[in-house]
Amino acid sequence: MCGITGWIAYDQDLNAARGTLDAMNETHICRGPDAGGIWLDTHAALGHRRLSIIDLDGGKQPMLVEHDGRTLLATTYSGEVYNFRELRAELEGRGHTFRTTSDTEVVLHAYLEWGEAAAERLNGIYAFAVWDPRTEELLLVRDRMGVKPLFYFPTRDGVIFGSEPKSVLAHPDVRPVVDAEGLAEMLAFTKTPGHGIYKGMREVRPGHTVRVRRGGLTERSYWALESHEHTDDLDTTVGHIRELLEDIVSRQLIADVPLCTLLSGGLDSSVITALAAKGLADGGHGPVRSFAVDFAGHAENFKASDLRGTPDGPFAHALAEHVRADHADIVLDTATLMDRANRDAVLRSRDLPVGFGQVDTSLYLLFKAIRGHSTVALSGESADEVFGGYRWFHDAEAVNGDTFPWLTARIFDTVSGDGSGDRTDFLDPGLLQKIDLAGYRESRYREALAEVPRLAGETGLEARMREISYLHLTRFVQLLLDRKDRVSMATGLEVRVPFCDHRLVQYVFNTPWAMKTFDGREKSLLRAATRDLLPASVADRVKSPYPSSQDPRYPGVLRAELRRVLADRNKPVHALLDTAAVTGSLDQGAGEAFQSTTELVLSLDTWLTTYGASLEL
């Protein structure tokens, strides 16, 4: 999947910038453990770290297109373009010749042929930069759904960019500063497209390009969700979704390295695993390899709740047996989850104290274990956003609330489960008042609603569910995609997300809510389109969130860590805390809401210390 970075400076000669580019590039070794490269020109410096997936020998980067001794284009590229073979054939028909079999070279020639419009022809997950020495212009491009990250920092005479904030922060002209708006964005639990959190830093918006010229930067949207009348009947809709899914998964099985699926036993991951098994078998390959996460003592400690009625293990095993997968469980224990080195690795992967605490740590450990066997994994991420799977899609209070529905539904209930408190409860009330978290969320909510593409004549519940879907596909799924990319790439594992294919997203977005819930359940269309692939127990299973450890020792470990932080008055995190609230919770804190608030405090402490971050409030 790779990591990219670069620096454009129109008032400097960057041929002497190797030391700076080396430092920026080295921050992405985890994203690209197989190889690294740098290309320098007068006003452009590009860096690349490679995770070899396709054309292991020929896909080295930065990659150039040259003619008669002149460099026509240079790129540093991350991601996968799943239709690169069709594009290559079309380009060859237009006279282009290729020296590799990589999708990177196809992207370069597509730009040479169609310019910025080439982005509209790509199907995949990608983030890349193309430098044109002929015009001295840089183009930054990000995939439609924002699966792959790309950050940039405008400067007086150009731009600094990278796959992750850490590569931008490695440049000597960039400081790790977060202002009041950045802190509000960090805590709001809704991801504002384009917001980089660090002061002065931006993220290329999904489906957008950013062009850098001597005169400055210009941003353009090349794709966005659109509203159209859905004219297919139910049977046609179900059939088309099945056709799309089979095509999507078959394309995403292409790799020159070992591939697997992430299998939880839920509907989404089971569908992907079953389709992958079918696709591999149809191609004379297989069996599909699958992995699931589990926790030591989980079966003994499991307590059913409204959110998690059953443990995942039996369902994952049933699906694996049904499709004859080569399946393995990755079993984690509390000591491993709480190991400081693992927690710090997760924070470094995110560059910010954001996320779901131990859930992120368990993901990191799962990916790290999988990386010992596979380089690419297919995931069921985003099916809930596309098909309406979360419980709050079906909760009248959340649907009719005047804010992001996952906030009304208390998102951390899906991680915490007990419905009490808020994860900012340990933060200083004066601090929260200063950043006006409630006002920030309100502003971002109104901003998002104003973007929703309306359908003429649509009213009532159908109109509101279009809004709900749009909010999830543009503000909520980004949180999860960001986490999955960053945590997986910290282990050198590429995770592909078939449900994010823009063709599927656009089609289902325009399917009426009444059709999406035609059988009275969540994800009715997905279940109907794939039921024949699944054992009945899996097809009929009620939605269950990603699992977390229910080991009763875990809160005790957190309390010990929290006491350590409180005891050291030199810790910079003290300036952010409501010390009385933290102290009052130490003797009684045991619930999962206590866990999420404590995990936030511990990650803030590590971030402020290790990144040398400063707050300008």
Cα–Cα distance between 169 and 179 in angstroms, integer? 16
Q: Which of 132, 154, 242, 245 is nearest to 204 (CA)?
A: 154
Residue with tokens 């089609």: 507
Distances (CA, A) of 85 to 4, 92, 98: 23, 11, 12
Q: Which of 137, 171, 172 is nearest to 151 (CA)?
A: 171
Please provide residue 76's backbone torsions phi and psi, each rounded to the nearest 5 degrees. -125, 120
Q: Which of 6, 435, 361 is nearest to 182 (CA)?
A: 435
Q: Which of 380, 368, 367 is nearest to 545 (CA)?
A: 380
Q: Which of 507, 481, 508 is nearest to 495 (CA)?
A: 481
- Count of CB atoms within 10 A of residue 129's CB? 29
SS3 of 303, please? coil
Q: Which of 539, 501, 494, 500 is nearest to 521 (CA)?
A: 539
Q: How far is CA 50 from the centre of its chain?
A: 19
Q: How far is CA 616 from the centre of its chain?
A: 28
DSSP letter (8 states) at residue 391: G
Alpha helices in 125-205 (DSSP H): 165-169, 180-188
The three-state (H, E, C) secondary structure of 339-353, written as one string: CHHHHHHHHHHHCCC
Q: Is 260 one of the annotated active-site residues of the chain?
A: no
Cα–Cα distance between 437 and 576 in angstroms, integer? 14
DSSP letter (8 states) at residue 157: T
Cα–Cα distance between 259 and 370 in angstroms, integer? 10
SS3 of 232, please? coil
Cα–Cα distance between 166 and 472 in angstroms, integer? 27
The catalytic residues are 2
